Amino acid sequence: MINIKEILLRLKKEGFRSTTIRKSILDLFYKFKKPLSSQDIQKYLKQKNIKANKTTVYRELDFLKNQNIIEEFQLDDKIKRYEILSSHHHHTVCIKCREIKCIEFSKDLESQEKEIEKNNKFKIINHSLEFYGLCHACWRAGHKCQAVK
Amino acid sequence: MINIKEILLRLKKEGFRSTTIRKSILDLFYKFKKPLSSQDIQKYLKQKNIKANKTTVYRELDFLKNQNIIEEFQLDDKIKRYEILSSHHHHTVCIKCREIKCIEFSKDLESQEKEIEKNNKFKIINHSLEFYGLCHACWRAGHKCQAVK
DNA sequence: TGACAAACGCAACCCTGTTGCATTAAGATA
DNA sequence: TATCTTAATGCAACAGGGTTGCGTTTGTCA
C-alpha cells in the first residue's frame, strides 16, 4: 500500500495540487482504515478545526475516485462510502450500531461467476458481497435485552 | 409461491383492506417478477390510469415490507428496490442499461459465513451479493462501439 | 346505512448529493 | 519576490428520493 506522500507526488506530476483539505482527507482514510462517507469526513474535519464546505468534500471524493486512489461503494442505505483502493474485499455491517469493518474472505467466486455468465448470458465485471448482522458488542447486548430491530 | 388472493385474504383477517392501489401494486410484482422501485411502480400505475400519490406508493411499499410480503434491498445507487419475498437469491445488474435480473446461484456461503463469524466475532444474519456487468445486448453493443463507462 | 379506522392526497419538509459561478490560493515562471 | 495561470474552494440554489403531519376519503362490518 503506497503512502500519502507518494500519492501527492503522483498527483503533482499530473498538475494537481497538494492542499490542506486534500491532505487531511487522505490522512483520515489512512488513519481510520475503514469505509468513510462524505458526512463522516465532514464531521472529522470539523473536529480537527479544518474548514471545508460540503461541496468541496463531495468534489474531493469524486476527484480521488477518478484518480483511482479511493473506491466508491454502496451498502443498504443511500449513503455513498469510500475507502482507499486496495485488493478486493468485503465488509461486515452491524445492523444495530452500523459499525462497518473490512474482512478477509479467501473464498473466490470465480468458478461460480463463470457459471453465472454462461447461464445468464451476462458478462460479470465486478460484484458486491456484504454481510449484515451483529457485531460482538451488539450481539451480547442483544442477549440481554433481546429486542433487535 | 402464494398468489394475490391469498395475500389479500391474510391481510383482511388482520384488519387490512383490499384497495385498488394495493391490488395493483401486488399485480405489478407478480407480473414483472423482478425488482421494482417506487418510481417504477408510480410509472406503471400511471400507464394503467390508476391515480396514486407518491406518498401512498411509498407507504404501501413500507406496509407490504412490514407484512413480510415484499423485501427491500439496495443496489449501487440510492434507490430502494422491492420484490416479492421468496427464497434467497441474487441479482445481475447491467452497468449500462441498468437491467436487473434475479439469478439462480446454487453455491451457498454457509461454510464461509461460519469462518467469518469465528474470525470476526460477528453474528451474520444475512448477506447481499450482486453481480455487476454487461447484459447480452450491451455486451454485444460494446464490442461494436467499445466505450463502456 | 352509519360508524370507525385504514387508506389516501397534499403540501411542506428532510437528507444526500450536484451545479453554476465568483473568489482564493498553489505553485510554476519570469 | 512579484506575477500569472488555473486548480481548488465557498456559496447559494437546486435536484431527486424519500418522509411527516394532517385533513379527507373510503372499505368493511355491525
Over residues A19-66, the pLDDT tens digits come to 999 999 999 999 999 999 999 999 999 999 999 999 999 999 999 999
Pairing between β-strand A100-103 and β-strand A90-94 as defined by DSSP bridges: antiparallel
A97 inside 8 A of chain B by CB: no
Pairwise CA distance, residues B118 & A102, whole Å:
15
Give ∠ CA A96-A128-A6 in degrees, rounded to 5.
Answer: 95
Using the beta-carbon criterion (under 8 Å), do A122 and B136 form an inter-chain contact? yes
Residues of B in contact with A75 (CB under 8 A): 74
Interface mutation target, options A34, A119, A131, A136, chain B, most CBs of B under 10 Å: A131
Express each pLDDT in B80-105 by its tens digit. 999 999 989 999 999 999 999 999 87
Task: Say which residue the cell 501527492 belongs to.
Answer: A8
Express each pLDDT in B93-148 by its tens digit. 999 999 999 998 767 788 889 999 999 999 999 999 999 999 999 999 876 554 44
Neighbour order of strands in the sheet with A122-135: A100-103, A90-94, A122-135, B122-135, B90-94, B100-103
B145 inside 8 A of chain A by CB: no
Quick one: pLDDT band at residue B18, thresholds 50, 70, 90?
Answer: very high
Pairing between β-strand B90-94 and β-strand A90-94 as defined by DSSP bridges: unpaired
- Is it the case that residue A108 has pLDDT exceeding 80? no
Task: Say which residue the cell 396514486 belongs to.
Answer: B52
Helical spans, DSSP H, in chain B: 4-13, 20-32, 38-47, 54-66, 110-120, 136-145
One DSSP character per residue, B72-141 reads: EEE-SSS-EEEEE--S--EEEEETTT--EEEE------HHHHHHHHHHHTEEEEEEEEEEEEEEHHHHHH
Residues of A in contact with B37 (CB under 8 A): none
